[in-house]
Structures are given as structure tokens and as C-alpha cells.
Structure 1
């Protein structure tokens, strides 16, 4: 049995797989988010307790010895720990918006662009650079007390194993890592005013760190590999490794990823280049801030249940009777395929004749248009896989295929956990058959007539977005 652990933003999951990649069982526990005034934080102890809980339940449900475990989790944010790996303060989430004024300043004075040209990272308020700079200004004692500023999975790895603080090249990619040397760029640290905090950056393990479990959740001595974080882990779990091929993750975060061997730091600064376990291979990533979270908000506001979505989508034609949604609901604005910290969602074209179905379809279409924008900016030329919670809706998958105008290789199950196991297998030399492990569960073809309607709709989406961005800057 091989175990994959995926420490998500709202749900912690663990899955067990056999040697052929069949998912034997999965366990999940929700974790909370504290949102107030643009500040988004998480309780590290709650997150770790959820990890131990799902692992305990999983190993109890599947009575097989654990060969090894792979760990992945949400990226970005700042998770401050002391010398024993205990929390110094609540974790600042990647969704946090408190540092938007710093990002605004760096956008205006050229720092933002300079950092992108050096590292391929387009900073946003919830990434470690701005958050550490904000904490340095407003909570310096927290940084004085901390031993390391880690990422989510790194905290869990340290607690599960007792290993020292460390991260991997994928998590370190935003915003301090030079993608060519795979080491921190101290000039970027200096540009962000953090040279005196340089010691908080965790050592980069390349390849990923491994250690034995201490006995919490997993049997003592179980081998665990730390990384990569959830976006590249999902790419591995979906079999997206050949240049030009892409992955769309329809989860809390809507992320478009394209595998590449070319590092192009020209053009509009946006997204990031994620370093992988293979030097010279990157993922060009355009992780938008909000995916299923936008639909969840609309469902909650309209009183619609998740199991009603497919039926409502069937009631309304493409175009949603003129209702449009710009799905930029995050408190910190948008980060891909452009950075606009003050951008907010817009709902237009609504009248007394509009139905709940119109609102739901318009939201799903808006998310689809945002996905198309991300994938085009990331340079998609090959096949496209799709994974995440959104794949549970067949009607939404058909809509996405139509909006994107291309077939979708649907990969279901715990794809991030699956990728974490494959990364661990590479580290431990286990020789698992990656092709068998990443077979799609379905292929959804676009409908040519609907795809033509959505091509026109996408052009209108871009026009409306340009106006929204101009208003956000005014």
C-alpha cells in the first residue's frame, strides 16, 4: 500500500493506492479558514490534527503495511514555526490580501517586474514575499521568534517526522527561487527589503527531503517524501509531463499548468514558473485565485445545492440569457494570468426574468472563460487533462470542453495524493508504472456548435474584463 497525503486549503485528504495505481480508500477532514477584513488565516494545530486524523482512519480502514507515503499540500502563504516546529502565530493563507498595498507599490516602482524577470514569479498579496514584508513591518516580534517561514506541507513534514525545516524547489519557486540555478536569489530578497530576514527561508532540498514517521498517523519508521506542492503534484498525478501538455485544476483555486522546457521571462508578468524534480523542466503555471469557491459562493447565496447544479445547467442555454459573471471573488484580487490586487467580481445582465439556472450557468461559464485565459497565457499546445472537485459535475465538464474548444482528459479521484506518491516513488526508486497510474477516467469532447458560441462569448469576456481592470486601478 502506498499513501498520498494532500493538505488542502479547506479539506485535508489521504488516499491509499495499490501497486497498479488503483485507489483503495480515501479519508478527508475539513479544516477552517478565518476571514476578516482581507486577512485569511489558518490554525496550524487544527491542520496538523486533521492530517493525523485522516492517516489514522485510512490505515485502520486498509489493513495493509504502508510501503511509503508522499506528501503534498497548498502552496504560498507564510507558516511561521519555532525551533521545535511549533506555530509562532496563525498561518497566513495564500488567499490573504493584507499585503496588497505593498504589491501595489512594487507594481508602481518596478520592483514587481524586476522580480519576475529574475525568477519568473509574478508576486501577489498571498505569496511569501509580500506577506513576510508585511509581517516585518507590522508584526516584527513574530518574525523575531520564528526559526523558519515554511509552506504548509513543510510544517506537516516536520511534525510527522521530526526533521529539520526544509522545503522543495516547487514551493520555493514563488517568489525567491532562481529557476535556472534552483537556489534562492538574494537580490530578490534584497529588493523586497528582507535581507535581515534571509535566515527564515527554509533550506531547499533538491531532490525532495525524506525521513521516517515518528508514529503519529502512520506507523513509526514509515518512509515519507516531502513534496512537491499541490499544483505540480496534480500535474504528476494526471500524467502531465511532456512539453506542451496541460492540466486544468478545477478546485478551490482554478489553475492552468503547462509543462515546458523553455524559460521565457518576457511578456506581461503573470503566474510563475514552477521548478520540478527534473532540472530544465518547468510548469508554466497560471493559478487564478478562485475556482469552485466562486461557484460555492453563488450556490450558497442562491440557496442551490451542489446536487442541483447539473439539472440547472440543463435548463439554461449557452450564454445564460445574457447574464455574465466575472468570477474574481478573492479578497486579494487576481494573480493569473494577470495581477490585479483590487479586482472584484462582477455580475451583469440580470433582470427580474433571470433564473437561478441563469446565475449558475453564467458562473460556470465565467470560470470557464478564466480557465481559457490562463491556459492560453501558459502556452497550451498539446493535450489537456482536468482534475479537481469540479470534475464531479458531468454537465460542467461538458460546458468546460465547449468553452475551451478542446477534448478534456478527465482524471478523477485524489489526483494530488496520487502525484505525491509518484514523486515519492521516484525519490525512493520504486519503479511504479506512471502511465498506468495516470490513465484518464473519461474523455469529454466539445460540441462544435456550442464551442462557436463560446468563442464569441470569450471575446466579450475579455472586453468586459478590460473594463473591470481599468475600474480597479481608478
Structure 2
């Protein structure tokens, strides 16, 4: 039995797989978020306790020896720990917005663009650079008490194994890592005013050294590997490794990833390059803020239940009778494939004749256009895999295939946990049938006529988006 652990933002999951990649069982536990005036934090003790809990339940439910475990989790944020790996304060989530004024200044003075040109990382308020700089200005005692600024999975790995503090190249990619050397760019650290805090950055393993579990949740002696974090873990679990192939994660936020061996630091600063275990191989990532959260808001506002979505999409034609949605509902605006913190959603073409189905379809179409924008910017030229909670709607997947104009390799189940196991197996030299482990659940083909219609609609979407961006400035 192999176990994949995925420490998400709102839930911790552990999945058991057999050697052929069949998902045997999954255990999950919710974890809380403390939200207050744009600040989003998580209790590290609660998160770690949830990890131990789901592992304990899973190993009881699926008895037998655990041959290997892989760990992944949410990226970005700041998880400060002391020399023993214990929390110094609550973790600052990737969703945290307290550093937005600092980032605004970096936009204005050119720091934001300079960092992108050097590292390929378009910073946002919840990534470690702005958060560490904010703490240094407003809460220096927390940094004084910390030994290391880790990422989520690194904190869990340290506690499970007692291994020295460290991270892997994927998490380190934002925002300090030079993707060419796969080491921290000390010039960027200085540029963000953090030179005197350089010692807090977690040492980067390439990949990070594996270790054995101490017996909390996993049986003592279980071989455990740390990383990659959730986005590249999902790419690995979906079989997205060949240059040009892509993955779209349809979750609370959209994440578009394209495998590449190129490094283009020109063009509009947005997204990031995620380094992987293989030197020279990267993922061009456009992790947008728009996603299923936009649809959830529309469903809640209209009183439509999730189980009604497929029927409403089926009874409403493409174009939603003229209703259009720019689905940028996030309070922090958008971060990919462009950065526009003040951009807001727009709903147009509505009349007294518009139906709930029109609103739902227009929202799904708008999210699809945003996904196409991200994938185009990321350089998609090959096959496209899709995973995430949105794949549960078969009608939405058909609509998405039409909007994107390409077949979708739908991969269901705990894809991030699957990728974590595959990474762990590679690091330990355990051969796996990767084709079997990444086999899609189904293939969704686009309809040629609808794809042609949506190709025109996408150009209209880009025009309306340009006008909305101009108004937001």
C-alpha cells in the first residue's frame, strides 16, 4: 500500500493506493481558516493534528504494511517554526491580503516587474516575499523567534519525521528562486528588503532528502518523501510531463499548468515558473483567482442547488441569450494571466426575460474563457488534462471542452495525493506503471459547431476584459 497525503487549505486528505495505482480509500478532515479584515491565518497545531488523524483512520481502514508515503499540500503563505519545528505563530495563508499595500508600492516603483524578470514569479499578496516583508515591518518579533520560514507541507514533513527544516524546488519557486540555477537569488532577497532575514529561507533540496516517519499517523519507519506542492503534484498525478501538455485544475480557483523546458521572462509579468525534480523541466503556471468560487456565489445568490446545474446548462443555449459574465469575483482581483488587484466581476446583457439558467451558463462560459486565456498564455500546444471538483459536473465538462475547443482528459479522484506518491516512488527508485497511474477517467470531446461559436466568443471576452481592466485602474 502507498499513501498520498494532501494538506489542502480547507481540508486534509490521505489516500491509499495499490501498486497498480488503484485508489483504495480516502480519509479527509476539515481544517479552519481564521479570517479578519483581509487577514487569513491557519493554526499549525490544528493542521498537523488533522494530518495525524486522517492517517490513523486510513491505516486502520486499509490494514497492511505501508510501503511508501508521499506528501503534498497548499503552496505559498508563511509557516514560521522554531528550531524544534514548532509553530512560532499561526501560519499566514496564501489567501492573506495584508501585504497588498506593500505590493502596490512594488508595482509602482518597478520592483514587481524586476522580480519577475529575474525569477519568473509574479508576486501576489499571499506569497512569501510580501508576507515576510510585512512581518519584518509590523511584527519583527515573530521573525526574531523563528528559525525557518517553511511552506505548509514542509512543516508537516518536519513534524512527521524529525528531519531538518527544508523545502523542495517547487515550493521555493515563488518568489526567490532563480529557475536557471535552482538556488535562491540573493539579489531578489535584498531587493525586497529581506537581506537581514536571509537565514529564514528554508534550504532547498533538489529533491529534498527523504526520511522515515516517527510513528505519528504513519507506522514508524515508513519511507516518506516531501513534495512537490499541490499544483505540480496534480500535474504529475495527471500525467502532464511532456513539453506542451497541460493541466487545468477546476477548483475554488483555476490553475492552468503547461509542462515546458523553455524559460521566457519577457511579456506581461504574470503567473510563475515552477521548477520540478528534473533539472531543466518546469511548469509554466497561471494560477488564476477565478474558479468554482465564482459559480458558487452565483448559485447562492440565485438559490440554485449544485445538483441542478447540469439540467440548467442543458436547457440553455450557448451564449446564454446574450447574458455575459466577466467572472472576476475575488476581492483581490486577478493574478493570472495578468495581475489586476482591483478588477471586479461584471454581469451584462440581463433583462427581465433572463433566466437562472442564463446566469448559470454565462458564468460557466465566463470561467471557461478565463481558463482559455490562462492556457493560451501558459503555452498549451499538446494534450489537456482536467481535474478538480468541477469535473463532477458532466455538463460543465462538455461546455468546457467546447469553450476550449479541444478534448479533455478528465482525471478524477485524489490527483494531488496520487502525484505525491509518484514523486516519492521516483525518489526511492520504486518502479511504477505511470500510464496506469495516470489513466484518465474519461475523454470529453468538443462539438465542432459549438467550438467555432465559442472561438468567436473568446475574442469578445478578451475585448470586454480589456475595457474592464482599463476601468479598474
Range into which the TM-score falls when normalised by the shorter chain: over 0.9
> Which deviates more from structure 2 when the two are superposed, residues 306-315 or residues 281-290?
306-315
Cα RMSD after superposing both structures: 1.3
Q: Secondary structure at the match of 2:274?
A: strand
CA distance in 2, matches of 1:414, 1:268: 33
Counterpart CA distance in 2 for 1:291 and 1:333 is 12
User: Match for residue 158 of structure 1?
Assistant: 158
Q: Which residue of 2 aligns with 1:344?
A: 344
Aligned-partner Cα distance in 2 for 1:433–1:40: 40
Q: Is 1:270 aligned to 2:270, yes or no? A: yes
Aligned partner of 1:237 in structure 2 is 237
* 3-state SS of paired residue (1:284): strand
1:407-430 per-position Cα deviation (integer Å, ceiling 9, x unaligned): 001111111000000000000000
Q: What does 1:80-119 align with in structure 2 at a 5 Å threshold?
A: 80-119=80-119
Deviation of the 1:353 alpha carbon: 2.6
* 1:60-90: CA deviation from partner (whole Å, max 9, x where unpaired): 1111210010000111111112222222222
Partner of 1:38: 38
Report which stretch shifted further, 294-303 or 57-66: 294-303
For residues 227-284 of structure 1, the C-alpha deviation after alignment (integer angstroms, 9 at most, x for no partner) is 0001100010010100111111111221111111111111111111100000011101
1:472 paired residue number: 472
Encode CA deviations 1:302-335: one digit per residue, 9 max, x unaligned.
3322222111211211122222222222232211
Deviation readout 1:111-140 (Å, 9 max, x if unpaired): 111111111111111111111111111111
C-alpha distance in 1, partners of 2:105/2:284? 26
Contact 1:243–1:259, Cα closer than 8 Å, also in 2: yes
Q: Normalization by structure 1: what TM-score?
A: 0.97
State the partner residue of 2:295: 295
For 1:296 and 1:31, locate their aligned partners in 2 and report how far apart those are by CA, in whole Å. Answer: 20
Greater mean alpha carbon deviation, residues 92-101 or residues 263-272: 92-101
Listed as ranges, the matches of 1:409-448 within 5 Å are 409-448=409-448
The 3 A distance-change label for structure 1 pair 97 and 471 is farther
TM-score, normalised to structure 2, is 0.98
1:185 and 2:220 correspond: no
Report deviation, 1:32: 2.0
Which aligned segments of 4 or more residues in structure 1 are displaced greater than 3 angstroms? none
Q: Secondary structure at the match of 1:103?
A: helix
Relative to 1, partners in 2 of residues 1:359 and 1:44: Cα closer, same or farther, differing over 3 Å? farther
1:3-82 correspondence to structure 2 within 5 Å: 3-82=3-82
8 Å contact from structure 2 (residues 166, 208) kept in 1: no
In 2, distance between residues paired with 1:316 and 1:300? 19
Asked whether the equivalents of residues 126 and 332 of structure 1 are also in contact (C-alpha less than 8 Å), the reply is: no
Q: How far did 1:355 drift?
A: 2.1
2:16, 2:25 within 8 Å by CA — same for their partners in 1?
yes
- The corresponding residue for 1:145 is 145
Residue of structure 1 equivalent to 2:211: 211
| Structure 2: segments with no counterpart, 5+ residues | none
**1:166-202 deviation per Cα after TM superposition (whole angstroms, max 9, x unaligned):** 1100000000000011100000001101101111110
Residue 366 of structure 1: SS of its match in structure 2? helix
Q: Structure 1: which 5+ runs fail to align?
A: none
The equivalent residue for 1:367 is: 367
* Shift, 1:214, TM fit: 1.5
* Secondary structure in structure 2 of the residue aligned to 1:64: coil
Q: Is the 8 A contact 1:372 1:404 kept in 2?
A: yes
Secondary structure of the residue that 1:330 maps to in structure 2?
coil
Question: Contact 2:274/2:283 (CA < 8 Å) preserved in 1?
Answer: yes
Moved more, 294-303 or 90-99: 294-303
Structure 1 stretch 15-24 or stretch 31-40: which is displaced more?
31-40
